[in-house]
Structure 1
Amino acid sequence: MAQSPSLAASLGSSAEPLDRRYDLAMLDLDGVVYVGPDAVPGAPQHVAKAREAGMRVAFITNNAARPPAEVAYHLCELGVDADAGDVVTSAQAAARLLQERLGTGAPVVVLGAGGLVEAVIAAGLRPVGVKDEAEAVVTGYGPDVLWRQIMRAAVRIRDGLWWVACNTDLTFPTKYGTAPGHGVLVETLRRFSGVDPVVAGKPARPLLDETVRRCGGRRPLMVGDRLDTDIEGARAAGLDSLLVLTGVTGLAELVAARPELRPTYLSADLAGLDRAHEAPEVSEPEVSLGGWTATVAGGALEVSGGGDADDWWRVAAVAAWRHLDDTGAPVGTEGVTPPG
C-alpha cells in the first residue's frame, strides 16, 4: 500500500503509477469524469489507460435519482466505456442498509426518483406509499416528490419510523446552475423530527463499502474532486484517495482543508492515475518538489521556481497545511496564480 499520510500536513508517496499500485479506482462522476453534459478533457483516455494497466474502474455517485444503466449510457455517449455493473449509486448503498436490517420483502416508504425505487426493488424490498404500513422510509433526490408526501414522511419519522437518507448533499448541479440538493430536504426533516438519518452516500462510508462489495478490489483508491464528500469519505473508510482539480476544488479550498479533508495524492486530472507520485520535501521553512519551492511569509503563500504543474499544487498544499496546523489560520493566496 501507499505511504498514506496521517492526519497531518503531508501527502502520500508512490514510486509506481497508481494504476499499478491499486487494483480498483472508485471514480466520482461530476467534476472528475464529466462536468455537466461534457466529458472532462482527456478523461475517456485516462480511464481506458488505467484499465489497460489492469485497474478495475467503478463509477460512483451520491445521485440517487438515475439508475446505473442510465448513468452508464451517458458515460458511453461521452466516450467512456461503461456498463451498469460499473456504476454504483447511493441508492444501491441505501437499499443494502435497508435489506441487511429489515430482510427480504420488507415494506419501505420510498421518497425519491426512479433510481431509488429500482434499487429498493433490486434489493428484494417492497416500495410502498407514504401512508402505507412500513418498516422504514428511505429518501433521495427526487424533483417530482410532492410537499404533502414530505409532510407525511416527516411526521412518521418523528413518530419513530426508521429513516435512511441516500446523501446529505446540499447542492445539485443542473443545466440552469447549482440548485438545492437532497441535503436541504434532509435538514428540513431533521429539524422537524429531531431525528438523524442513517446516511448511505459520501462522506459516510456505505457507498464505498458497497462499491468494493460489487466490484471487488483488495487495494481500492477513491478518486474525487470534492474535499467534503470524496476525500472525507475515503478518510472515513480508511482508504487512500486522489484529489483531481477538474471540479469544485481550487486553491482557496485546498489550502484551507482541515486534516480530515486532505487527500493521499493530488493531481490536475485523471492523468495522475498513470503516474508515480513523489511527496514534497520539507526543510524549514521551505517545501520543495520538482523545481518548485513554497514558503509562507507573513501569513501569505509564496511559490517560486518552475516545473510540472502537479508539483506546484503539491508544494503549495503542503506548505499551506503546515501553516494551518501551526496557526489555525489559512494562508493568504492573493496574487498567487497556479501554472496553466
Structure 2
Amino acid sequence: MRSKYTISQFADIAEAYPVIFFDSYGVLRNHRGLIPGAVETMDRLRKSGKHIRVLTNNAARSPAMAAERLAYYGMKDIPASEIITSGATTRHFLEQKVKHGKVAYLGTATSAEYIIGAGLEAIPISEVDFERLDEIGAVAFLDDEGYDMNVDINLLINILRRCQVPVVVANTDLLYPTTANDVALATGSVARLAEYVLGRKFVKFGKPATQMFQMGLDSVALDMPEVCPGDILMVGDTLHTDILGGNTYGMATALVLSGNTRPESAELEIEASGIIPDYVCPSIGQ
C-alpha cells in the first residue's frame, strides 16, 4: 500500500482510546477460528482498563448466543452484556413500531424466534396466505439462510407489491464468507434488490446504520458517563459497514486486513470507495 495508507500495529494505536468497538467475524475470528493473538490482545486491553464492546451484524443470534459462540472458539471473557447485535436493534424497533399483525420473514426460525418473538407472531415468507395479506403487519429480512432463494424472493416481491407495511432489514451485509476465498450474497444484497425493483426504502439495522453505535455508546456510558464518540476506536474488516459507520458516527476507525478486506486489494478498495479509515492494521493480533 502507498505511504498514504501506512500500516500500523494495532497495539500502538489502541493505547490512545479508552473505548474500543470490535466487529466479530473477520476481526476476532474467521473461518479458521480465532484470529492469532486475539485472546492475548483482549487480555492486554482489559488489564489496561479499556472498555470493550463487540458490534456484529449477525442477526441470527442473540447477544447471549453470540457470547457462547465466541467462547466455543476460545474467547471466553466477552459476556453478553458487551455484545451489540443487529438483531437486538431490530427487535427493539419491532417492539415499538409494530403493534398488531404477523411479521413475515426471510431467515431461519432461530433468528425469527429471537428477533420477532417479542409478543409478535412470526411467519416464514413461504407460508404467507395471499388471500389474507391484511394479517401481515411487517416484513423482515433476518438472515442469510433458512429460505429458498429461487422461490421465496419472488414470493416476497409479490407480497410487498400488495402490502404497504414496514419492511425491516436486520443485517445490511452484502456478502458473507463461505470459504477462505469465496463469498455468497447476504441478506443485505437481497434487500437492496427488492428495494430497487419495488422503488421503496426499507428500515435498515446493523452497521453502517447508527443504531448499533448508539447502543454501544449508551452501554459504555453506564460505567463511563462522559464518553463521547471521540473516545472510541471502531475496529472492522469491511469498509462499507464497519468503517463507514464508524466514520459517520464520529469515531476513529481501524481497518484490519484479516477478513473481508484483503491486503492485496485494500489500497484499491479504499480509493475506489472513498471510505478512508484512520488506521490500517494487519490484524488485532499483530
The counterpart of 2:23, out of the listed 21, 25, 28, is 28
The structure-2 alpha-carbon separation of the partners of 1:79 and 1:62, relative to structure 1 and needing over 3 Å to count, comes to: same
TM-score normalized by the length of structure 2: 0.77
Asked whether the equivalents of residues 173 and 179 of structure 1 are also in contact (C-alpha less than 8 Å), the reply is yes
Matches within 5 A, 1:80-229: 80=75, 81-102=77-98, 107-113=102-108, 114-121=110-117, 124-129=118-123, 130=125, 131=128, 133-146=135-148, 149-158=152-161, 159-175=163-179, 177-216=182-221, 218=227, 219-229=231-241
Deviates more, 1:190-199 or 1:172-181: 172-181
Gaps in structure 2 of 5+ consecutive residues: none
Secondary structure of 2:164's partner? coil
Q: Which has the higher helix share?
A: 2
Task: Tell me, yes or no, if structure 1 residue 66 matches structure 2 residue 78.
Answer: no
1:253 maps to 2:266:
yes
- Pick the structure with greater CA Rg: 1
The Cα offsets for residues 149-201 of structure 1, whole Å up to 9 and x where unpaired, read as 54443233233111111233221112484222112321332233221211102
* 1:40 corresponds to: 35
TM-aligned CA deviation for residue 256 of structure 1: 4.7
1:9-24 aligned at under 5 Å gives the runs: 19=14, 21-24=16-19
1:63 aligned partner, one-letter code: N
Instruction: Return 155-164 or 211-220, whichever deviates more.
Output: 211-220
Partners of 1:24 and 1:10 in 2: CA distance: 23
Question: Contact conserved, 2:144 with 2:186, CA < 8 A, in 1?
Answer: no
- C-alpha spacing 1:48/1:119, structure 2 compared with 1 (3 Å): farther
Structure-1 residue corresponding to 2:249:
237
Name the CA distance, whole Å, in 2 between partners of 1:110 and 1:87. 24
Q: One-letter code of the match for 1:173?
A: P
1:78 Cα offset (Å): 2.7
Q: What residue in structure 2 maps to residue 277 of structure 1?
A: none
Equivalences, count: 258
Tell me the SS of whatever aligns to 1:135. Answer: strand
Flag structure 1 segments of 5+ consecutive residues without an equivalent.
1-8, 273-340
- Cα deviations across residues 288-332 of structure 1 (Å, max 9, x unaligned)? xxxxxxxxxxxxxxxxxxxxxxxxxxxxxxxxxxxxxxxxxxxxx
Tell me how large the CA RMSD over aligned residues is. 2.9
Amino acid at match of 2:275: L
Map Cα deviations across residues 199-238 of structure 1 (whole Å, 9 max, x no partner): 1022222222233234446233211111121101112222
Distance 2:24 2:264 in 1: 21
Q: Summarize deviations over 1:240-298 as a string: whole Å, max 9, x none.
A: 212222223225323552485111223222257xxxxxxxxxxxxxxxxxxxxxxxxxx
**1:107 to partner: Cα distance:** 4.4
Per the normalisation by structure 1, the TM-score is 0.66
Checking the alignment, whether the CA contact within 8 Å between 1:205 and 1:237 is kept in structure 2 is yes
Cα pair distance change 1:202/1:53, threshold 3 Å? same
Give me the whole-angstrom Cα distance separating, in 2, the residues matched to 1:102 and 1:220: 33
Structure 2 residue 277 is matched with structure 1 residue 263:
yes
| Preserved contact between residue 26 and residue 259 of structure 2 (Cα < 8 Å) | yes
CA distance in 2, matches of 1:248, 1:173: 8
Change (3 A) 1:106 1:213: farther
User: Could you tell me which amino acid in structure 2 is paired with residue 66 of structure 1?
Assistant: R
Q: Distance in 1 between matches of 2:172 and 2:269?
A: 22
The residue matched to 1:57 in structure 2 has which SS? strand
Q: What does residue 50 of structure 1 align with?
A: 45
| Identical counterparts, % of pairs | 26
On the 8 A contact 1:245/1:268 being kept in 2, the answer is yes
